Amino acid sequence: MPSTPNTRLHAALDAAGLTRAQLAETVEVDPKSVERWITQGRLPRAATRLRVASVVGAEETYLWPALVERPGSGAPAEIVQVWPSRDVVPGHVWQNLVDNTRERLDVLVFSGGFLVETFRLAERIAAVSAAGGRVRIALGDPLSPVVAERGIAEGLPSLPNRAASTSEYLAGVRDLPGVEVRVHDTPLYVSIYVFDDELLVNPHTHGLPAKDNPVLHLRAAPGAGGLADYYRDAFERVWDVARS
């Protein structure tokens, strides 16, 4: 039977900015072993798998989904990682996802100020536009009572102002080809960030700001269980009712 390359490990290595030789040195194995893991789909020993997962910033079961797949199911895991709050998501995760986006960038938030202020989102929007990609940003309507009420409920009465501030940050890129910024006044239950085939999903619970709620890192894959599509469809539903 022909070997199957481990494209997930390959992509995770690229996202972490590491070469195969650097990974081999870090986890103390022969470079030929790393080559076989990637090109032939070889499975490292358990302790080595854990070290590799830690180094590249991905879950072991994402890098080697056969560890959790049911025989014959053919459904690879989509969940790369889960964090208990947005505050503890490492900055390099956000930055790598932003920097590596090429074709599709979708954002659904109330304000999302941290993304434009810290992770150079406007620069990436311009790059995606120049490459012929598509960017869609849905922000909370700063004039909507729904957004004001949500801010009060979460202890953030400045939420409408934050949404307006994010819109100002995007003023220089919102008219670029392929870029569209809209506002919405939906009772948002989840913030969604789509970076090509990867997503960060931030569900909201009552009375807590988005930063204090969990975040899921998803990566869409053929034959996967549908979580990525579920949240991409959720984005589309809000986008359809959002206003330019």
Query: Which of 48, 74, 100 is where one domain is finished?
Result: 74
Highest mean pLDDT among 73-77, 225-229, 240-244: 240-244
Beta bridge partners of 243: 183
Match 């700001």 to its residue by tokens. 209
Residue 79 forms beta bridges with which residues? 218
Q: What is the pLDDT of residue 171?
A: 93
Is residue 148 domain-shared with residue 113, that is, in the same domain? yes
**In Å, what is the CA distance from 34 to each residue of 26, 152, 179?**
11, 52, 40
Whether 62 and 112 share a structural domain = no
User: Tens of pLDDT along 4-21?
Assistant: 889 889 988 988 899 999
Confidence check: pLDDT of 73 > 80: no
Q: What is the pLDDT of residue 35?
A: 93
Residue at 42 is within a domain: yes
Q: What is the CATH number of the domain that holds 236?
A: 3.30.870.10
Range(s) of the domain holding residue 122? 80-241
Residues 108 and 151 in one domain: yes
Concatenating the DSSP letter of every residue in 66-99 gives GGTPPTTT-----EEEEESSGGGS-HHHHHHHHH
Of 24-28, 39-43, 61-65, 97-101, the poorest mean pLDDT is in 61-65
Looking at the 3D structure of the chain, how many domains does it have?
A: 2
* 59 band by pLDDT with thresholds 50, 70 and 90: confident
Reply yes or no on whether the pLDDT at 75 is more than 80.
Answer: no
Residue 1 lies in a domain: no
What does the buried/exposed string (b/e) look like for 24-61 if buried means 16 or more CB atoms within 10 Å of the residue's CB?
A: beebebeeebbebbbeebeebeeeebebbbebbbbbbb
Give the contacts of 101 (CB within 8 A, at least 6 positions apart).
124, 128, 133, 195, 196
Q: How much is the pLDDT for 78?
A: 79
93 and 144 inside one domain: yes
As a whole number of angstroms, the distance between CA 92 and CA 135 comes to 21
Provide the sign of the torsion angle of the four alpha carbons 202, 161, 183, 177, taken in this order: negative
Give domain status of residue 58, yes or no: yes
- Residue with the bigger pLDDT between 176 and 72: it is 176
Over residues 62-73, mean pLDDT: 64
Residue 198, in any domain of the structure? yes
Please work out, in degrees rounded to the nearest 5, the angle formed at the alpha carbon of residue 215 by the alpha carbons of 236 and 41.
Answer: 90
Predicted confidence at residue 66, as pLDDT, reads 75
pLDDT in tens, 95-151: 999 999 999 999 999 999 999 999 999 999 999 999 999 999 999 999 999 999 989
Pairwise CA distance, residues 238 & 96, whole Å: 26
Q: What is the mean pLDDT of the chain?
A: 88
User: Do the domain assignments include residue 2?
Assistant: no
Q: For the whole model, what pTM was predicted?
A: 0.71
Residues 196 and 217 in one domain: yes
The verdict on 161 and 202 lying in the same domain is yes
Whether 160 and 141 share a structural domain: yes
Does residue 71 have a pLDDT over 70? Answer: no
Q: Which amino acid is at 196?
A: D
- Do residues 87 and 195 share a domain? yes
- Is 170 inside any structural domain? yes
Domain boundary residue among 74, 105, 133?
74
Share of the chain above pLDDT 70, in %: 93
153 plus 227 within the same structural domain:
yes
Q: Cα(140)–Cα(31) distance, rounded to whole angstroms? A: 49
Q: Are residues 106 and 211 in the same domain?
A: yes
180 and 153 share one domain: yes
